[in-house]
Amino acid sequence: MNKIIIIGAGPAGLSAAIILANQKKEVIVIDEYLEAGGRLLGQLYQEPNGNWWNGIKESKKLYDNALQAGVDIHLNESVYDLEKEDDNWYTYTDKNIYISTNVIVATGASEKPFTIPGWTLPGVMSVGAAQVMTNVHRVKPGNKGVIIGVDVLSSVIAMELKMANINVEGIALPAKTKITTNRSNPLYVMDSLLHVSHMAPSKFIQYGSKLMKNDWMKNMGIRFFPKKGATMWSIPIMLRKAVIEIYGDEVVEGVKLATVTKEGETISGTEENIEADFVCIAGGLSPLAELVALTGIPFYHIPELGGHVPLHNDEMKTNLEGLYVAGNITGIEGAKVAIAQGQVAGYSVLQQLHPNQFNLDFQESKKRVKAERKNAYIQFHPNIGNGKQKMKQHWFNASN
């Protein structure tokens, strides 16, 4: 009964487990995947200091530290329900029912794919699937690909595919629909792309991005943006081209593109084909919060955080006693922020169990979250700070 259940063996869940287990708490971590690490497994990029952030190595480090601390990790086990009865939380999985007084939900994020004619052809996949195939399983998704959807995630994964000697013919916008309105708007997309321009090998692109500080400059940039795209990592980034169809008889054979206006409207008569044997759809990430929704806690739609987010405070507490959240379920950010948030959640549980015994460590962990957020090399949502302030206001309103 005194055990602590953590749902999700990604960076947030494992870091929380380590904090708790190091204080001799009985901790069980449950994850549906065959390997611990979550989305951290697919990450691979070079930091400003020249060091490589290797998600597989970082995942193994967290996993080994958790085992050494005595954490009981259950992989390949799916949680399908979470309920509170009296003072206890009941976690239902396909293998067991766990009863505890404290639960940390660190389920991470899920991709948001969109439909496009031809998207059911073999060879079409989410951009995250291509990342896992390449970085985790060491299997090429194909030899020549096109990515539909220009954002931070697709740009970084395109770079990773390039490092694996996979030819990426280009990253283009999706055709404009009711679902893809913003993602088909060149101005909106440029604003997102500016937040990874510092990763570009070209000094020209790095410097040019610093000039795009207002809407007038961005509009001018879109107006004169090359129709064939600007090149980053030898990959054409096409903000004036949209994919209107994925074609092929039985498998992917290529995509059909058309030039678009600066508002994202397709220009008739500009269609052209690009051959490819795989296509990635990049619709972005959103908090994976369906499990927490079963508990009945309030949710708020905050675009700066990636979508609908459960009510919580900066101590990773929800408004339900004994229920905590950490990582991308609280807003889409990088793995380093998720690790820091997991540590906050761990100390938050310890404070609840042992009031005033971990004050210094608790405060330091909260400062670490802010520092990691401020220094994040990759920001999936540029206005994450505004999103956090909105959630802080929601928490204040709910508490008064």
Q: What is the mean pLDDT of each successive set of 10 residues along the chain, which is 400 residues long?
A: 89 98 97 91 74 86 97 97 95 97 96 91 95 90 94 86 92 86 74 57 45 49 57 80 95 95 88 96 93 96 94 97 97 94 98 91 95 84 89 94
Give every strand in the sheet of 72-74, ordered side by side: 72-74, 27-30, 4-7, 102-105, 323-325
The verdict on residue 143 lying in a domain is yes
Clarify whether residues 310 and 225 are in a common domain: no
Per-residue model confidence (pLDDT) at position 202: 45
Contact 5, 91 (CB under 8 A): yes
Clarify whether residues 253 and 296 are in a common domain: no
Last residue in a domain, options 232, 266, 281: 281
Q: Are strands 144-148 and 167-174 parallel, antiparallel or unpaired?
A: parallel
What residues contact 292, with CB distance under 8 A and at least 6 apart?
82, 105, 107, 310, 318, 323, 325, 329
Q: What is the mean pLDDT of the chain?
A: 88
The verdict on residue 43 lying in a domain is yes
For residue 367 the two structure tokens come to 């400062």
What's the CA gap between 256 and 251, in Å, rounded? 15
Clarify whether residues 134 and 103 are in a common domain: no
CA 159 to each of CA 144, 182, 237: distance values in angstroms, whole numbers, following the listed order: 14, 23, 12
For residue 142 the two structure tokens come to 């194909």
What's the CA gap between 266 and 263, in Å, rounded? 9
The verdict on residue 253 lying in a domain is yes
Clarify whether residues 347 and 273 are in a common domain: no
Per-residue model confidence (pLDDT) at position 151: 84
Clarify whether residues 11 and 92 are in a common domain: yes
What's the CA gap between 221 and 232, in Å, rounded? 16
What's the CA gap between 16 and 193, in Å, rounded? 32
Contact 282, 148 (CB under 8 A): yes
Clarify whether residues 134 and 241 are in a common domain: yes
Clarify whether residues 104 and 26 are in a common domain: yes
Tally of domains in the chain: 2
The verdict on residue 26 lying in a domain is yes
Clarify whether residues 337 and 368 are in a common domain: yes
Last residue in a domain, options 281, 306, 323: 281
Clarify whether residues 151 and 189 are in a common domain: yes
What's the CA gap between 278 and 252, in Å, rounded? 6
Clarify whether residues 128 and 274 are in a common domain: yes
**Domain span including residue 315:** 4-111+285-399
pTM of the model: 0.88
Clarify whether residues 234 and 290 are in a common domain: no
The verdict on residue 117 lying in a domain is no
> One-letter amino acid identity for 282?
A
Specify the 3-state DSSP secondary structure of 239: strand
The verdict on residue 206 lying in a domain is yes
Last residue in a domain, options 213, 246, 281: 281
The verdict on residue 118 lying in a domain is no
Clarify whether residues 289 and 275 are in a common domain: no
The verdict on residue 302 lying in a domain is yes
The CATH number of whichever domain residue 205 belongs to comes to 3.50.50.60
